[in-house]
A and B are shown apart, each in its own frame.
Chain A
Amino acid sequence: MTDLKVGYYPGCSLQGSSRDFAESLHAVAKALSIELVEIPEWNCCGASSGHMLDHLLSVALPVNVLLKARKAGLPQVMAPCASCYNRLATASHEIATSPATKAQVESVLQTSIDKLPRVLNVIELLAQVSDRIAPKVTKKFEQTVACYYGCLLVRPAKVTGFDRTEDPVEMDKLVAAVGGKTIDWSFKTECCGASFSISRSSVVGRLGAKIMQDAVKRQAEAVVVACPMCHSNLDLRRGEINQQLEHKTDIPVLFITQVIGLALGLPKKQLGLGRHFVPVKFPAKPLAPPTVP
Chain B
Amino acid sequence: MSRIGVFICHCGENIAGTVDVAAVTQAALDMTGVVHAVDYKYMCSDPGQTMLKDAIVEKKLDGVVVAACSPRMHEPTFRRTAEEGGINPYQCEMANIREHCSWVHEKGTPTTAKAIDLVRFQVEKVKRNHPLVPIRVPVTKKALVLGGGIAGIQAALDIANTGSPVLLVEKSPSIGGHMSQLSETFPTLDCSQCILTPRMVEVARHPNITLYTYSELEKLDGFIGNFKATIRRKARKIDEKLCNGCGVCQQKCPVKKIPDEFNEGLSNRPAIFVPFPQAVPNKPVIDLANCTYFKNGKCKACEKLCPTKAIRLDQEDQIEVHDIGAVVLATGFKTMPVSNFSEYGYGKYKDVIDGMKFERLASASGPTGGAMKRPSDGKTPQHVVFIACAGSRDRLKGVPYCSKICCMYTAKHAMLYQHKVHGGQATVFYMDVRAAGKNYDEFVRRAVEEDGVKYVRGRVSRVYEDDGQLVVKGVDTLLGAEPVEIRADMVVLATAVQAQNDAEELAQRLHVSYDPYKFFAEAHPKLRPVETNTAGIFLAGTCQAPRDIPETVAQASGAAVKVAGLFSQPELTREPIIAVVDRQPPPVFSHCVGCFLCKSACPYQAIEEESIKNRNGDVLKVVAKVNPGLCQGCGTCVSTCRTKAIDLQGFSNEQVFAELMCI
**A136: interface (CB < 8 Å):** no
**B466: interface (CB < 8 Å):** yes
**B464: interface (CB < 8 Å):** yes
Q: Which residues of the other chain, B, contact A184 by a CB distance below 8 angstroms? A: 348
Q: Given the interface contacts A157-B396, A157-B397, A158-B396, does A186 sit within 8 Å of B465 by beta carbon?
A: yes
**B343: interface (CB < 8 Å):** yes
B-facing residues in A198-242 (Cβ within 8 Å)? 214
**Per-residue 0/1 for B341-374: is the Cβ within 8 Å of any A Cβ (1 yes, 0 no)?**
1110000100000000000000000000000000
**A166: interface (CB < 8 Å):** yes
Q: Which residues of the other chain, B, contact A158 by a CB distance below 8 angstroms? A: 396
Contact check: which of A157, A166, A187 meets B341 at CB < 8 Å? A166
Report Cα–Cα, A98/B113, bound state, in Å: 31
Contact check: which of A166, A214, A292 meets B343 at CB < 8 Å? A166
B396 touches A186 (CB 8 A): no
**B462: interface (CB < 8 Å):** yes
**Per-residue 0/1 for B54-92: is the Cβ within 8 Å of any A Cβ (1 yes, 0 no)?**
000000000000000000000000000000000000000
Report Cα–Cα, A148/B348, bound state, in Å: 19
A-facing residues in B383-425 (Cβ within 8 Å)? 396-397
Q: Which residues of the other chain, B, contact A167 by a CB distance below 8 angstroms? A: 342-343
A-facing residues in B33-60 (Cβ within 8 Å)? none
Return A153 CB to nearest CB of chain B, in Å. Answer: 16
Task: Closest B residue to A187 by CB, please name it.
Answer: B464
Report Cα–Cα, A124/B343, bound state, in Å: 22
**A275: interface (CB < 8 Å):** no
**A71: interface (CB < 8 Å):** no
**A164: interface (CB < 8 Å):** yes
A164 touches B466 (CB 8 A): no
The size bracket of the interface on B is 10 to 19
Q: Which residues of the other chain, B, contact A186 by a CB distance below 8 angstroms? A: 462, 464-466, 471
B397 touches A164 (CB 8 A): no
**Per-residue 0/1 for A152-194: is the Cβ within 8 Å of any B Cβ (1 yes, 0 no)?**
0000111000001111000000000000000010110010000
Report Cα–Cα, A187/B397, bound state, in Å: 20
Q: Which residues of the other chain, B, contact A293 by a CB distance below 8 angstroms? A: 348, 465
B-facing residues in A238-282 (Cβ within 8 Å)? none
Report Cα–Cα, A156/B342, bound state, in Å: 16
Interface of B is mostly: mixed
- Central interface residue in B342, B348, B471, by most chain A CB within 10 Å: B342
Report Cα–Cα, A108/B471, bound state, in Å: 49
A166 touches B465 (CB 8 A): no
Q: Which residues of the other chain, A, contact B343 by a CB distance below 8 angstroms? A: 166-167
Task: Closest A residue to B343 by CB, please name it.
Answer: A166
Task: Closest B residue to A168 by CB, please name it.
Answer: B342
B342 touches A164 (CB 8 A): yes
Report Cα–Cα, A135/B531, bound state, in Å: 64
Report Cα–Cα, A187/B342, bound state, in Å: 12
Task: Closest A residue to B341 by CB, please name it.
Answer: A166
Task: Closest A residue to B345 by CB, please name it.
Answer: A186
**Per-residue 0/1 for B314-334: is the Cβ within 8 Å of any A Cβ (1 yes, 0 no)?**
000000000000000000000
**Per-residue 0/1 for B449-489: is the Cβ within 8 Å of any A Cβ (1 yes, 0 no)?**
00000000000001011100001000000000000000000
Task: Closest A residue to B465 by CB, please name it.
Answer: A186
Contact check: which of B342, B466, B471 meets A166 at CB < 8 Å? B342
A-facing residues in B7-56 (Cβ within 8 Å)? none
Report Cα–Cα, A190/B29, bound state, in Å: 71
Return B346 CB to nearest CB of chain A, in Å. Answer: 11
Q: Which residues of the other chain, A, contact B464 by a CB distance below 8 angstroms? A: 186-187
Task: Closest B residue to A186 by CB, please name it.
Answer: B464
B342 touches A214 (CB 8 A): no
Q: Which residues of the other chain, A, contact B397 by a CB distance below 8 angstroms? A: 157, 165
Return B38 CB to nearest CB of chain A, in Å. Answer: 43
Report Cα–Cα, A186/B464, bound state, in Å: 6
Return B69 CB to nearest CB of chain A, in Å. Answer: 33
Report Cα–Cα, A261/B570, bound state, in Å: 84
Report Cα–Cα, A186/B341, bound state, in Å: 14
Return A63 CB to nearest CB of chain B, in Å. Answer: 25
Report Cα–Cα, A164/B397, bound state, in Å: 11
Return A148 CB to nearest CB of chain B, in Å. Answer: 14
Return A136 CB to nearest CB of chain B, in Å. Answer: 32
B341 touches A214 (CB 8 A): no
Return B599 CB to nearest CB of chain A, in Å. Answer: 49
Report Cα–Cα, A157/B394, bound state, in Å: 13
Q: Which residues of the other chain, A, contact B466 by a CB distance below 8 angstroms? A: 186, 214
- Central interface residue in B341, B465, B471, by most chain A CB within 10 Å: B465
Q: Which residues of the other chain, A, contact B462 by a CB distance below 8 angstroms? A: 166, 186, 190
Q: Which residues of the other chain, B, contact A187 by a CB distance below 8 angstroms? A: 464
With A166-B341, A190-B462 known, 20 other A-B pairs at CB within 8 A are A156-B396, A157-B396, A157-B397, A158-B396, A165-B397, A166-B342, A166-B462, A167-B342, A167-B343, A184-B348, A186-B462, A186-B464, A186-B465, A186-B466, A186-B471, A187-B464, A214-B466, A292-B465, A293-B348, A293-B465
Interface residue ranges, A against B (CB under 8 Å): 156-158, 164-167, 184, 186-187, 190, 214, 292-293
24 A-B pairs with CB atoms under 8 Å apart are: A156-B396, A157-B396, A157-B397, A158-B396, A164-B342, A165-B397, A166-B341, A166-B342, A166-B343, A166-B462, A167-B342, A167-B343, A184-B348, A186-B462, A186-B464, A186-B465, A186-B466, A186-B471, A187-B464, A190-B462, A214-B466, A292-B465, A293-B348, A293-B465
What 8 A-B pairs have minimum CB-CB distances, sorted nearest first? A186-B464, A167-B342, A166-B343, A166-B342, A164-B342, A157-B396, A186-B462, A158-B396
